[in-house]
């Protein structure tokens, strides 16, 4: 090797040493004291050993500080590159809080924008790890990196539905950069160190916290108690989603019998329809090994969404939960449902919808919150789904839930119902009050109100029962088949196998226009 090469290699080695030192030992120690891993440690925790190949390691902040001295900025505060997770390639970037508190610079933002574009072109997932105090500020240039941010945001939007996008907030994430993680398909936040805030005054103690974005804003999909747990959640999530929109999720060999009959399903639902039950009990009894990977668990809990497997086949589950607000479809649950089914359709993941709900709540309060507008998103969204769609109706299917949850002629591939199902335009109790008002008024005067009310209610319930409506296959809301609850798992497995190679198209168009 010529002597002339030695000098270049020495410079390269010095650059790498500086990158490994990041913001210095003191800043690294502080990061650990705060309960956080460093940017590189996070990537090492995520990637298969020895698989990370860094990109852009030479990049530095290319301007002088106020004193005229160049500020140390190894990798310009962004560690990124190609990695493998359980053998599958993906792109990952991690903001380095030890370098200027992770504040994003002009070169760093362009690095990330380039990486996202590379991930899109090479059809592989992009993982972003955020730990940043916001944008850097220059008295000369103002906030730097905004031009690159535009390119980054555009790439996230253009490759949405093309490649999976996952973001982790493991420290602060404030200012303009805060819009990037919420553009991702999934957002994971460390409940102890994560903080997401666009800007402006903070009006409450919990604003910006992980719990705030899980329970109130609905932007968080998963909460973690540590960086390690958050990264483990990414690995779990990746097992349910494909490499890109052209591929399918990995089917694994299942140990759980696909024909398993589940006697316990007969005891889940209470005898009295006035009492509730937890839909998680049903889900865990029918999926492989009772394993359900739930998302947005504490946001609109009346709608449960997440991933599971049936005989090793990945399936997205969206289920109303009678144990929370009776399983009503209010605005937040509608939005939660809409976003989830859009992701499933984008990546051709089958949808299992489980319905037991009195549907959309009436009244002034809900109208002011836009219950019609939010429900219209579900109508529009479900109408455009082309992925495999299976509906399971358990008990109540009232009002608009017949349509938005795939219980009618909205294009589900298979609709199954337990014999306990009731289809009705609204709750039978309301109909009794409206239709038999005079009879009930007279009964109240005569002291036999409950007897008369129960009589009329029983007649309506018999009329609305699927065992009655099922006799007319096309005129009324009904199901393809009423099934023994114990055979639920076997029916779903067979339906998934039948739809594995389905091909469905919607009318050709430039794009659809979703309700506001």
Provide the whole-model pTM.
Answer: 0.92
Nearest to 128 by CA among 254, 218, 255, 43: 43
**Which pLDDT score, from 0 to 100, does residue 186 have?**
98
Structure tokens at 64: 């002088």
**Token pair 């990109």 in the structure block, residue:** 55
The whole-angstrom distance between residue 289's C-alpha and the CA centroid of its chain comes to 22
**Mean pLDDT, the chain cut into blocks of 10 residues (516 residues total):** 77 90 92 96 97 94 59 90 97 96 90 96 98 77 71 95 98 93 97 90 82 91 98 98 96 94 95 89 97 97 98 98 93 96 97 93 88 91 95 91 86 94 80 79 83 80 81 75 96 97 91 84
The enclosing H or E element of 158 equals helix 146-158
Burial 292-329 (b: 16+ CB within 10 A, else e): bbbbbbebbbbbbbbbbbbbebbbbbbbbbbbbbbbbb
**Cα separations (Å) of 118 from 48, 112, 115, 250, 355?**
20, 10, 5, 23, 41
Query: What stretches of 36-183 adopt beta strand conformation (E)?
Result: 53-54, 78-85, 88-95, 126-132, 137-138, 142-143, 165-174
Structure tokens at 458: 């029983």
| Contact (Cβ atoms closer than 8 angstroms) between residue 120 and residue 161 | no
Supply the CATH classification number for the domain 3-61+71-238: 3.90.226.10
**Which pLDDT score, from 0 to 100, does residue 443 have?**
81
* Phi-psi category of residue 325: left, alpha or beta, with phi > 0 → left and psi -120 to 50 → alpha: left
Query: What stretches of 233-312 adopt beta strand conformation (E)?
Result: 293-295, 303-310
Supply the CATH classification number for the domain 263-421+465-498: 3.90.226.10
**Which pLDDT score, from 0 to 100, does residue 143 have?**
60
**Token pair 């819009």 in the structure block, residue:** 179
Structure tokens at 70: 């160049």
**Which pLDDT score, from 0 to 100, does residue 67 have?**
47
Residues 6+ apart with CB under 8 A from 241: 125, 164, 249, 314, 347, 349
């Amino acid at each position: 090797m010529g002597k002339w090469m030695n000098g270049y290699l020495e410079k390269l080695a010095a650059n790498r040493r500086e990158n490994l030192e990041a913001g210095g030992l003191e800043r690294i120690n502080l990061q650990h004291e705060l309960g956080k891993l460093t940017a590189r440690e996070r990537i090492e925790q995520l990637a298969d050993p020895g698989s990370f190949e860094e990109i852009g390691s030479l990049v530095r902040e290319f301007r002088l500080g106020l004193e005229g001295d160049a500020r140390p900025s190894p990798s310009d505060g962004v560690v990124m590159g190609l990695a493998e997770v359980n053998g599958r390639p993906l792109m990952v970037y991690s903001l380095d809080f030890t370098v200027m508190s992770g504040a994003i610079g002009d070169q760093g933002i362009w690095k990330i924008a380039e990486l996202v574009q590379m991930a899109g072109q090479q059809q592989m997932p992009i993982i972003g790890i955020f730990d940043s105090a916001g944008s850097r500020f220059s008295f000369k240039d103002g906030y730097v990196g905004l031009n690159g941010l535009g390119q980054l945001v555009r790439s996230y939007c253009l490759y949405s539905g093309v490649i999976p996008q996952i973001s982790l907030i493991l420290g602060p994430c404030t200012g303009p950069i805060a819009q990037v993680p919420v553009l991702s398909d999934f957002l994971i936040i460390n409940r102890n160190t994560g903080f997401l805030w666009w800007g402006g005054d903070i009006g409450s103690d919990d604003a910006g916290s992980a719990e705030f974005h899980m329970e109130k804003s609905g932007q968080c999909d998963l909460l973690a108690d540590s960086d390690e747990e958050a990264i483990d959640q990414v690995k779990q999530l990746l097992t349910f989603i494909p490499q890109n929109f052209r591929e399918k999720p990995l089917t694994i060999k299942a140990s759980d019998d696909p024909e398993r009959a589940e006697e316990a399903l007969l005891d889940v639902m209470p005898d009295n329809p006035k009492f509730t039950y937890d839909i998680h009990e049903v889900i865990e009894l029918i999926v492989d090994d009772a394993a359900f990977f739930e998302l947005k668990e504490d946001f609109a809990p009346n709608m449960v969404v997440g991933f599971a497997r049936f005989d090793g086949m990945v399936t997205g589950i969206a289920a109303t939960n009678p144990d929370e607000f009776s399983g009503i479809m209010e605005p937040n649950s509608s939005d939660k449902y809409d976003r989830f089914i859009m992701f499933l359709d984008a990546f051709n993941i089958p949808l299992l919808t489980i319905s037991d709900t009195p549907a959309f709540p009436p009244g002034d309060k809900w109208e002011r919150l836009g219950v019609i507008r939010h429900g219209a998103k579900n109508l529009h969204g479900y109408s455009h789904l082309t992925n495999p769609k299976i509906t399971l109706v358990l008990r109540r299917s009232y009002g608009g839930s017949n349509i938005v949850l795939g219980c009618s002629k909205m294009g589900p591939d298979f609709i199954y119902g337990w014999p306990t199902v009731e289809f009705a335009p609204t709750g039978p109790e309301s109909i009794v009050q409206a239709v038999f008002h005079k009879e009930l008024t007279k009964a109240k005067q005569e002291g036999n109100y409950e007897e008369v009310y129960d009589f009329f209610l029983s007649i309506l319930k018999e009329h609305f029962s699927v065992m009655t409506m099922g006799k007319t296959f096309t005129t009324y809301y009904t199901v393809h088949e009423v099934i023994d609850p114990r055979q639920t798992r076997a029916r779903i497995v067979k339906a998934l196998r039948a739809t594995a190679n389905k091909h469905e198209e919607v009318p050709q168009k430039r794009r659809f226009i979703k309700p506001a």
